[in-house]
């Protein structure tokens, strides 16, 4: 019986965000989770790995931290599914007016992407999102990081103010 040599796998990969100032609002923290999911998903796809779960660690101003984990329905490296897992873990913290210093998103249980399985569905919405993600990865590889990202994460250019009615 011959044994194949397999390189040792990493058990986790993470992305961390520290805000320029402390925040006490949930929308800012969920936007941070989105950015971290985009970054972590791109890293996992580039490394050819998939994650079986995600963990969200929130650090507070008083230097304490809380961690929550979620097992993903299927191992993946796609931003959409990593983000959904991150949101689910973040929501269990029940933060309302907490003074958050930073958020860390960790992909747990990494393994080679060759072992990925995917539940087939008749809904084409997931396929569209995954196709857009592949295009975004190619654009990042060609033009650099930060070239293409979800519109929900875009901010107004510096010096531009919104009108009172919220348009423009």
CB distance 133 to 79 below 8 Å: yes
- pTM to 2 decimals? 0.74
Percent of the chain with pLDDT over 70: 73
CB distance 51 to 82 below 8 Å: yes
Q: Which residue has the higher pLDDT, 3 or 113?
A: 113
Q: Is 106 exposed, middle or buried (0-12, 13-18, 19+ CB in 10 A)?
A: buried
In whole angstroms, give the CA distance from residue 16 to residue 13: 10
Residue 62 has pLDDT above 50, yes or no: yes
Percent of the chain with pLDDT over 90: 20
pLDDT of residue 19: 62
pLDDT of residue 66: 93
- Per-chain mean pLDDT for the chain: 77
In whole angstroms, give the CA distance from residue 7 to residue 41: 21
In whole angstroms, give the CA distance from residue 55 to residue 39: 15
pLDDT of residue 89: 92
pLDDT tens figures, 75-86: 998 888 999 999
pLDDT of residue 155: 64
Residue 2 has pLDDT above 80, yes or no: no
In whole angstroms, give the CA distance from residue 61 to residue 166: 32
Using alpha carbons, select from 150, 151, 16, 148 the residue that is nearest to residue 86. Answer: 16
pLDDT tens figures, 18-56: 765 555 545 556 788 888 998 899 889 888 899 999 999
pLDDT of residue 166: 47
Least confident piece of the model among 67-71, 85-89, 140-144, 148-152: 148-152
């Amino acid at each position: 019986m011959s044994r194949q040599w397999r390189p040792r796998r990493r058990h986790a990969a993470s992305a961390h965000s520290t805000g320029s100032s402390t925040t006490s609002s949930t929308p800012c923290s969920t936007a941070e989770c989105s950015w971290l999911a985009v970054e972590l998903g791109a890293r996992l796809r580039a490394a050819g790995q998939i994650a079986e779960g995600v963990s969200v660690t929130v650090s507070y101003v008083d230097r304490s931290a809380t961690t929550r984990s979620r097992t993903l329905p299927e191992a993946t490296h796609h931003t959409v599914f990593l983000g959904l897992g991150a949101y689910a873990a973040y929501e269990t913290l029940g933060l309302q007016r907490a003074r958050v210093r930073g958020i860390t998103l960790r992909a747990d249980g990494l393994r080679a992407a060759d072992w990925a399985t995917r539940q087939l569905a008749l809904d084409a919405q997931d396929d569209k999102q995954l196709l857009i993600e592949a295009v975004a990865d190619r654009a990042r590889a060609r033009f650099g990081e930060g070239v293409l990202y979800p519109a929900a994460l875009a901010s107004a250019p510096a010096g531009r103010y919104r009108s009172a009615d919220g348009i423009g």
